[in-house]
Structure 1
């Protein structure tokens, strides 16, 4: 039993039980050498608390499972959601009362324009903070007005528009650190899609809900939601949009399986379920999911990165033509994970190059990314003199500070 083992023995026990990853993979993810981890597991080295926390995180157990102490709390993600949107979602923001209802066609174009902005603008967070509060207020006013109306077709169209807008808000709230609001709008998207009796939007709403569950640390729930939604959708008449959404749901399920550290099951799911749907659907952006063969390849890289298999992740990256992806968010995620693979291999010059690429590609996204900020901090801590100026400048632009005494110390 794990409870009867030494600290090193517990690390080995849980590493093998939760995914059975190699020492090299886990060590790389934790920022230590394979030899150091081997010595920890054999009881020849006593890990620091920082290393223990990293090991516990990567093998999927609380620190208390490795030592007799309570796990430390995770730092809270900064909350940067526009106050106007948050107030309206929570029910105490601006309401329109007797103001005229915006026509469905106008509202549809505004929602689609907001989605295009969100997927293409370098300043999408600033733009969203300006656009979304007014758009949300107009949409919710229209939904309330049409619920009491006598035209069922007009009501269905407004509900479809609202479902699409809530999908955008889910992504925005997640990226700005409000998982609580993400769950709220994901639920509203699902309710609106169900009221509209729109199978494709119901599937898209479940896709959004799956992402919220992944972000909140519930991969089992995400897998269940995505799997059931894909099965339900495949029971409807087949077309390209249906196949694309079913495939997008399979990507959520595969990511959830990878988060549970079942790497081979995640790989099989991508190969046997997501890839066939991608080949049927082709490249596209149905329901703003950016699903297609390229996105499947991106997720294959994600699985390898999560598994700590940096070399295989880089091989996957070599197969990706990121210019075929119409979403700046997916381009950002690809480049971020590419940087992370190089980070696992301690190829610091490549990490710096990709972080600078990220800053150019999406300067606001990088400031909202905990992983990018962490890599910038780690890079600054171990930077060589030849590129210390660039790493210091990047860290300062991102607002990343090192604790006193750590500057220039090796990992």
Structure 2
């Protein structure tokens, strides 16, 4: 007679892990299912062990929706790491990593660069990020020296000069965080977000703290942190500049309202997501229809474009497509943001199962900013899927785009 055991089978264990992570995130089955193109009943069947572990492309989407980097947290297989399959590494990553993890303990006798000159270099670096061409490659070329010079200046300058340098250093850490995003180095993304916030606080600058909170919000969202912590961070930072009516203050306040909206959308709280999006829209209107912040890019166009993301995360595919059809991203003064919002539009059409529109938009996004498309997780997975399993009408274009994006057949 076989020995009785209460050890759950692999399907049951996988399902229990999915349910545990989903509930930890505060996500409903409908939200998780909708974001990966499946029903709430499909998620329930997974969680109850009635369905087995999905194939790798769908498993990667599930891990991304649940905010997981390691597939092992779902499967128990330590050999499977989500970032190994879904994220690419830029060629300059080792140099940027070295710049972030190299520490200088002397050299304060050397005369530092002037504060105005350093701040001008930071502005130029942001222009490279938003400009046409290989924006990651261009920014990676200037980041190491810029970080080293700003750190040196922060050690040497005092008083107001030091605080201005620290604000510039925080802005440069934001650039580093953006460069590192969608690469298999989550620990460095967290590091740069934390360093930016520390520099902003040391500068005693409410505006710098507000921007750092916007970027930390992205870090927390990617790490699967609880939405309450993200909203609390955004609202506390917004409270620091609640009395300001200048464009600089309004742009930052609007960013944090968007942060709260996106956080609530991630867990399916439609009313709260729309409430904060409405606040962001009201803030953008105060700035005027043609306004866009020089490097944060906040303005009416950005708010309208984020309606696509909000509705897609709320699993309202029809509303997401309507938002995509209503917004014109061409006036937005950032090739990277134009490309990103085109990719989000493609994600909306993907939820509607319209592969022709998906491929068309991803091709446009790649033409607009090749490295934005190449490193975006949705773009990579959608192109890989459509190139192999898409309808015959789009498979050829998807395979061409796969080649243009430098993806392997198994990407």
Q: TM-score, structure 2 length as denominator? A: 0.80
Aligned CA RMSD, in angstroms, stands at 3.8
Are 2:277 and 1:276 aligned?
no
**Does the CA contact (< 8 Å) of 2:277 and 2:303 recur in 1?**
yes
The number of residues matched between the two structures is 387
User: Does residue 1:82 correspond to 2:93, yes or no?
Assistant: yes
Query: Are residues 95 and 176 of structure 1, via their aligned partners in 2, closer, same or farther at CA, if it must alter by over 3 Å?
Result: farther
What displacement does 1:178 show?
3.1
Q: Is 1:232 matched up with 2:240?
A: yes
CA displacement 1:116-144 (0-9 Å, x = unmatched)? 11012321111112111111111111111
- The structural deviation recorded for 1:249 is 0.6
Residue 65 of structure 1 aligns with which residue?
none
Report the 3-state secondary structure (helix = DSSP H, G, I; strand = E; otherwise coil) of the residue aligned with 1:321: coil
Choose the corresponding residue for 2:224, options 217, 220, 228.
217
SS at match of 1:130: helix
Distance 2:204 2:155 in 1: 17
Report the Cα distance in structure 1 between the residues aligned to 2:44 and 2:222, rounded to whole angstroms. 34
> Closer, same or farther in 2 for the Cα pair 1:137/1:353, shift >3 Å?
same
Q: Greater CA deviation, 181-190 or 361-370?
A: 181-190
Deviates most, 171-180 or 130-139: 171-180
Task: Please give the secondary structure, in 2, of the residue aligned with 1:323.
Answer: coil
Q: Which runs of 5+ in 1 are unaligned?
A: 63-67, 405-411
Higher relative contact order, chain-length normalized (CA < 8 Å, sep 6+) = 2
**Matched residue SS, 2:147:** helix
| CA–CA distance in structure 1, aligned partners of residues 33 and 263 of structure 2 | 22
Q: Structure 1, residues 17-40: CA drift from partner, whole Å, max 9, x if none?
A: 866675xx76554345x6994995
CA pair 36-400 structure 1, distance change in 2 beyond 3 A: farther
Preserved contact between residue 88 and residue 94 of structure 1 (Cα < 8 Å): no
Deviations 1:339-389 (A, max 9, x none): 111212221111111111112111122211111110001111223334433
Q: CA separation of 1:40/1:174 partners in 2, compared to 1, >3 Å: closer, same or farther? A: closer
C-alpha contact (below 8 Å) 1:251/1:296 kept by paired residues: yes
User: Cα gap change, 1:237/1:168 in structure 2, threshold over 3 Å: closer, same or farther?
Assistant: same
**Aligned with residue 386 of structure 2, among 379, 382, 398:** 379
Partner in structure 1 of residue 197 of structure 2: 190
Deviation at 1:47, TM superposition (A): 5.5
Contact persistence 2:177–2:193 (CA under 8 A): yes
User: Following the alignment from structure 2 to structure 1, what is the Cα–Cα distance between the partners of residues 252 and 367?
Assistant: 31
Which residue of structure 1 aligns with residue 173 of structure 2? 166
Structure 2 gaps, min length 5: 1-7, 69-73
Establish whether residue 325 from structure 1 lines up as the match of residue 336 from structure 2. Answer: no
Q: Provide the secondary structure at the position in 2 that maps to 1:314.
A: helix
